[in-house]
């Protein structure tokens, strides 16, 4: 009897252990199933990527990579985009939609670099109370930037510049010569919508340094480069430029 009574509680304990073990096994299995489902869901939500090679004719690969970089999402967690350069092009891994955008952007920028015709105008502020008809198209632009009473055109010149080159011209103010030197550092794009990086220096023996600036200007639009007042007895000098793309031609000057 003693041995039977001592064995019964042990049997009950063993019987109680089995359901608990089975329950824990079921819970563990459910956890694994849920984790697998979540992982599959994350993978299903990740964008599908493709790899495409773009061959370039005119753009340098490093310049092209900078242009299309906003469309390559390298920080994307589930499916990071990537871009690499080789001798004559780019290899990009991205979504089909972004690859299509990159293709469109490269078609816009991978074109022959045009020479530019740069039309400079030297304008004097407070030179006239009435609008000067020769700069009528600039009157509203000037009045939006400055608060002078009036503006008149002193002189103008055109230079033709090639990318990476330098051109010069001469302006005249009351018979006194002003040297205009222009460096065309880089042209991006072709025709209206493109951009040009310019450095402009304007100086003379009579007036000294009038303007020295570096900036990016849109092709096909007039831009005011800046102003200076080299002669306290005169109004401020303002320099405006309009770059236009041309086909062929060597750098030079025309007055």
CB–CB of 46/78 below 8 Å?
Answer: yes
> Vertex 88, ends 84 and 94: CA angle to 5°?
35
Cα 146 to Cα 111: distance, rounded to the nearest angstrom? 37
Q: What is the pLDDT of residue 9?
A: 47
Q: What is the per-residue pLDDT across 19-34, written as a single tens digit (0 to 9) for each?
A: 554 545 544 554 454 4
pTM of the model: 0.58
Q: What is the pLDDT of residue 16?
A: 52
Kindly indicate the confidence band of residue 172, based on its pLDDT and cuts at 50, 70 and 90.
Answer: very high
Averaged pLDDT, 164-186:
93
CB–CB of 197/185 below 8 Å?
Answer: yes
For the domain made up of 50-109, give the CATH fold.
Answer: Ribosomal Protein S8; Chain: A, domain 1 (3.30.1370)
Q: Is the pLDDT of residue 72 over 70?
A: yes
Q: What is the pLDDT of residue 144?
A: 87
CB–CB of 247/230 below 8 Å?
Answer: no
The CATH 3.30.1370 portion of the chain extends over: 50-109
DSSP alpha helix (H) spans, 78-225: 96-109, 139-145
Q: Angle, to 10 degrees, between the axis of helix 96-109 and the axis of helix 61-68?
A: 130
Q: Is the pLDDT of residue 163 over 90?
A: no
How is residue 88 annotated by DSSP?
T
**Mean confidence (pLDDT) of the chain:** 81
Q: What is the per-residue pLDDT across 117-162, written as a single tens digit (0 to 9) for each?
A: 999 999 998 766 678 889 988 888 888 888 888 899 999 999 999 8
Kindly indicate the confidence band of residue 65, based on its pLDDT and cuts at 50, 70 and 90.
Answer: very high
Q: Is the pLDDT of residue 64 over 70?
A: yes
Residue 122: closest CA among 193, 59, 203, 186: 203
Residue 153: CA count within 13 A, CB half-sphere: 16
Q: What is the pLDDT of residue 201?
A: 95
Q: What is the per-residue pLDDT across 196-242, written as a single tens digit (0 to 9) for each?
A: 999 999 999 988 899 999 999 999 999 999 888 888 888 889 999 99
């Amino acid at each position: 009897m003693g041995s039977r009574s001592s064995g019964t509680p042990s049997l009950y304990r063993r019987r109680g252990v089995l359901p608990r073990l089975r329950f824990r096994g079921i819970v563990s299995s459910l956890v694994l199933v849920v984790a697998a489902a979540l992982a599959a869901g994350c993978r299903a939500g990740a964008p599908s990527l493709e790899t495409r090679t773009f061959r370039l004719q005119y753009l340098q690969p490093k310049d092209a990579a900078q242009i299309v970089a906003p469309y390559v999402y390298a920080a994307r967690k589930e499916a990071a985009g990537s871009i690499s350069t080789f001798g004559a092009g780019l290899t990009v891994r991205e979504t089909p939609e972004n690859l299509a955008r990159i293709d469109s952007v490269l078609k816009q920028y991978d074109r022959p670099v045009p020479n530019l015709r740069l039309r400079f105008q030297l304008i004097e502020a407070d030179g006239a109370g009435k609008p000067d008809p020769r700069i009528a198209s600039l009157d509203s632009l000037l009045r939006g930037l400055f608060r002078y009473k009036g503006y008149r055109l002193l002189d103008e010149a055109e230079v033709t510049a090639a990318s990476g080159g330098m051109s010069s011209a001469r302006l005249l103010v009351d018979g006194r010569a002003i040297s205009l030197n222009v460096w065309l550092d880089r042209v991006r794009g072709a025709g209206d919508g493109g951009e040009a990086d310019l450095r402009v220096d304007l100086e003379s023996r009579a007036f000294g340094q009038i303007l020295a600036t570096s900036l990016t200007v849109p092709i096909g639009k007039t831009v005011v480069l800046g102003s200076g007042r080299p002669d306290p007895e005169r109004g401020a000098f303002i320099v405006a430029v309009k770059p236009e793309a041309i086909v062929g031609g060597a750098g030079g000057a025309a007055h």
